[in-house]
Structure 1
């Protein structure tokens, strides 16, 4: 008891509780950190699951877009065939084969079974086609299935000419309801369409499931109405596609994890036949935790649904190492926190330990800098404030063909051709105070070769007691400089070639003009001879020639006169494109009224109501614009002949940007809309000579005048309802 009295029990308990309290706090910190690690791992797993799902969505969207782009490429192939028919009324079998061979279907389009053309025929058209092919020595063209139908769509061309494709020639695609639906939709909508799923034969014993793409081909451009499209349809370019090969080719370059099946749901969601499905090893996903997604595609009149599925467990398993690493790191961090809590009492020891770590870090940083400098492929050197080399790497020694020991202590600028330039050295030193400085210098090798270097100066601090001011990098750019010089020489050569070609083109144009005038003179001389002798023959020997002979002589003279008029019209159109362009502000109202006055004087017997809007202004060449109005108003005057209450309107339209719009409208004979594109071609006439005279040059001249002013011209009309010609010219103030 006496011993116990000498001991302060409270202080003893406090000393015993102090370490216990520290252990409890450390243990609580450990438990709390482990709980946080578990929460973080749970959240990380959820984030990984969301990331996997996002990747799944991205992958499925990318696959859908690849399929869409693949179909778009076949649309371009089909429209290329349409363009061929636009340039040729109906290509021959050899022309069609040449076009398809140029596409290299076997190499670029393994899923395309062929590229063909099916004409759109009625009964008489089919008979005519069969007779033409028989007369051409191509044998009998037999259409299958047999029978009499109102319309036919038989296969005429199908390339490449494989045995399977040759067997298809003559099949009436329009007789099949599935194909007919797509063909009729393409015809009426003027759009590319694909059919519902079809069995396209067998390949190596397997049934080929696919679709057929149809692109309509019209005569005389694209009609505006459905009835006009049906009347002017020439046929269809069609592309049969193997769906299995189609999907394989489209997704060949993708690393795909999701299983895919494609169904055609048509216009609704009833029966949805299967177009494509992956093999069993990809399509075997079906667990409750799998990702599933359906992507709809609206493609050329059909609706496809892409069903995707992916194994969630497999996707997460690929990311589990990262999750496990995160968990292990979290546990280690918790243990470290536990250790830190135990070591709080040893602050001094911890400070010493940190100081040791900082010293080691500094040494490592110094070592990294030295190694980076030593093993760099670019020459580097440390310079003092006077420009002497303090340290250098082997790459710099190799550039100057010396050793690193030989470089140390030497003046850096002495190695360059302009090394003794004090002004340059002072400029480089002063630039270093502002930051990084770059320049180019030259030096000579021991062999006497002059080489170029790109120098980069950067200020760096040195160690205490050392006079290190900057780090300089030296890069040999001799080959780059020589390449740039060669490039400039090549550019000068190209400029000289362009100038030479320009002079040659100018000379060719001058020769072409001389040729045109020479031809016109040489043609007119025999024409005048024909006309003169025909007139003398008719005058002097009229009593010896019967009425038929006199009629023949009159026809010869008329033909010679018309030929002379055509030559004169051609010369006028040539002058329109050759004359220099002098732009000035123009009063189109006054010019139009002058043209109308000339027409009234030339045809006083005509009663035509002409209205010219006031305030029509533009910028252009006065002579050319007067020629333009003469042709447009003269055309309206001519084609209203015989029209009761003939009316002509010259007015302004809605322009855009720097172009002002105008129009000339009449209520005369008009023209069919599908022939509007032919009006502006030379010698293209939509009415016969007996009905309305002319040479077919006027509107071609109008187009040249408008285009020389940077504008456009269009025509609208209907038979018996008149015509409207719209054109644009530069606005006032738009041309300096």
Structure 2
């Protein structure tokens, strides 16, 4: 029995460990099951909440889209009412040119995307139709043809439609009143005095088999005020302003934002009938407003019609929160597994903690040794100070800067080595800077031998426990030699600035003297030129009979040369004034200025047929007189060098980056000699081909440079030329 006792006690010593291990397993399992149950309950409730939020967000997006359609149609309505106002304000029906000017001012393609254009429909009876045809024939516009043909009590003939393209010309002369669908909308607009929609129709602007679309009509009356009764409105009616747009392109071209997960269609439900208006590309047919595929329906009353919007959701109905919910579920599962792992690893924590403490102790000793080595071998002086400012420890570099040994530094006050004072205000600022980080300063240190040195100090607080005697670490960098070198550089810079200023004054004086010299020489040259021209004229008049034909030719050449010399002197004076005149900055309308210059060129040469294109809305800032001179030279050159070109064209516009250009299809020039164009008196064409002095482009270059811009030219012989220039003071085009 005694021998058996040790055998029975041995497993009992390991039983508590096994029991504890089993308890850890059970506890970890319970924690895992409880965590997973909580995550599942949370996921169930949160997923239902996110689904409702996603549905509400989808409905809000759908309502915003329907409202965006209404707002876009309101812009169309305003354009129609502007056309009605144009007709009401005119004594007679506006001409095609006036209508084109109004529509061009609207800028339909950019400001009213989705709308094909704007047209005018005249309300006619057979008599007024005949009068209209006679007027157009008398005006030379040809016979006005009405389609479809036939005699009817009233007609609604399309007179104008802009912008005019090949397909839109098919609509001119079409009797809108002959179509029951169009007529219903036109009568509704007439009787109500408001803008009215038509039911979906085939657009005449796309040919006989045109695409489906809808029309907006606004009635035009003889009086500016709306007649009170329907009878009065019918009697005062003169026509309609209308606007068509293709339903298939309405959403894309009108830039109405559509969410990527939203499909929709619009159905005209006026009078109980359902007529499809348009549908998005991803709409799935076969679903109705009551079907499971339609999540939301909106009905709007738009200009006398009822439109129903049906919305479908593409893909599963989820929201951004669903992804967060999935991430939360995964995080919960991972957290549960981590808790299970933590319980299993608690037994190893103590051993790992002891091992880590041992390693930290070794790391601290190594860090302390590295700090000592850094102080010992640093080229910058370093000192450790206590709370009273006494030196506890220093390095060899600090001893060398102070001119004493390390042992002599220990225990002395660090502030006693500086020649400049350190008042209470400076100490307060230093302590505030130390609490925030590093305090940097420059002070004068007095060495043991009396030499003064300029040093940079970088002081920082040393972290430690309350019993530590080290309070601050100060790094001392001797910058005396560097500051002396900087002082020498500054002195040299001041000398250089003085020399530059003197050279600038000399150059300015030389420029003034050169300008005065050019002005005086130009004026003094006129006197002998006048004498040559005067005596030549006397010889030609008084001694005409004595001088033979060859002599008369020589005399004419002398006078022509004198006149050309006088013109060159005038051009030289004008070019010199460009650089001397006062610069006046002001906002400029370059489009209007270019149009004025081209109008003057047409008046001087009315027989020319030149196609001119001037981009609208070109604006800049600069000197009005100088920029006017610039445009006169560039457009004048384009006008001159297209004189021998059939179908001459001149264009003034702007490229990206606010680079203006003047282009023509005239005589052009050899690109190899483009650099000579802007030099005074340099010409690439003979005088018998194109007249000129050779200073126009030189003046242009000076004007552009006065505005801080650049200019260049490209061209080829008989292939036209393009001059591109910039103005540094360019303002944004509005």
- TM-score, structure 2 normalization: 0.46
Please tell me whether Structure 1 or Structure 2 has the larger radius of gyration of its CA atoms. 2
